[in-house]
Amino acid sequence: MSKKYFGTDGIRGKVGEYPITVDFMLKLGWAAGRVFASEGQGFVLVGKDTRISGYMFESAFEAGLTAAGVNTRMLGPMPTPGIAYLTRTLRAKAGIVISASHNPYYDNGVKFFSVQGIKLPDELEQRIEAFLEEPMTTVESSKLGKVKRITDAAGRYIEFCKASVPPHIDFKGLRLVVDCANGATYHIAPHVFREVGAEVLAIGVEPDGLNINQNCGATKPEALAAKVLECQAHLGVALDGDGDRLIMVDEAGEVVDGDELIFIIARSLIEQGKNIGPVVGTLMSNLGMEHALAELGVPLLRAKVGDRYVMEMLTSQGGVLGGEGSGHIICLDKTTTGDGIVAALQVLAEMRRTGKSLRQLKAGMKKYPQILLNVKTAPGVNIDECVGIQQAVKDVEQALGRRGRVLLRPSGTEPLIRVMVEGEQEASVRAYALQLADAVKTAINS
């Protein structure tokens, strides 16, 4: 069955526009409560990031869950991976995250975690959507849910993050700049890195409800790069608004993306004699990572874009490491979802283990130039059935050979065809991308 509201990463949109409205979130809390109540006794965790609308929506969820007869534990501002961890370790029936991740403050959304600390299965999301079509009711007063606040949530998660690296590793003398994107990690990430011994300069730690992800964090690492150079730091760590993305900056101020970080972690695990199975990336993962992993004897499997699909493939194929170039990195041997702080600690531990800088570690992977163009499309256009497009793709693939890659895919959210070409030489890659984009435009117009 197709779903009306839930996408690959929950429900997300602009605040005040349906379904990101107070009345919908109230009903969603009630619908989710009805489903969770049918699963037996227990409580649901509710956490949020720092955007201003979070106050409004957590109150709506609290009311909806209470009306359904479900007990609620409020976490306040907490990173998404922290909520997943607490859902699992506190044996909650579910965890609810109120966040729009890397989006600006005027967006918001919601996603759910199961008691295992992973995204809800489709069957439960469909059951929640079924209740959304029913009239909202309230249980009798004696059965109303009760609400409490968990006051030590941040401390619990800080200790978990620290425990993801061996206690004998000494980070003293390591100077970091940590950018928390004015988001949910502002009161957590600096403590984690300081408590493992690093010297930390924290930026993006003054959320005001409106400045989350604003010219900072994993999606805008330029300020971090400048601060690393200014302070002569060993590296920089950039998280996004809800803490599930990681981008790093080396000592020269150059950005190190998710693909490069996955390679560094994979090589570390292999050199330590661990069997990691296949690494899982996405259709957009850089070809350079695939080639670098192949030299280590590790296959790269490509899932659809989205950390949900990466997680599903990791589980089915027996892998322990996967993610996306955008910085979603899943270390399944440590936790159950993408976690920016945990992933950063694994990279820092590898620097200490090898005595190498981040710049030296990333040198083991040659990142191929990748050009992505968007072409506006019309409803009903099927690029797989357009002979001209498919012939153009074959021509470029033949020209690139094994040293390049082509990907055409429709956007899941906009009327666009995404044209991606990567290869060894940026000039030729750009020319091929423009050539394919023109072929797509011609086919659509005809």
Residue 101 a catalytic site member? yes
Active-site annotation holder among 101, 114, 164, 285? 101
With CA atoms as reference, report the closest residue to 164 among 312, 348, 20: 348
The whole-angstrom separation of Cα 221 and Cα 312 is 29
Tokens of 148: 């409490």
Torsion angle of alpha carbons 253, 256, 257, 261, nearest 10°?
A: -150
In whole angstroms, what is the distance from residue 369 CA to residue 257 CA?
Answer: 13
What token pair was written down for 346? 């694994």
Backbone dihedral region of 166: left (phi > 0), alpha (psi from -120 to 50 degrees) or beta?
beta
- Nearest 5 degrees, angle CA 330-CA 98-CA 244? 20
Nearest C-alpha neighbor of 51 from the set 212, 190, 243, 196: 212
Alpha-carbon distances, residue 223 vs 200, 204, 247, 437 (angstroms) = 16, 10, 13, 33
- The catalytic residues are 101
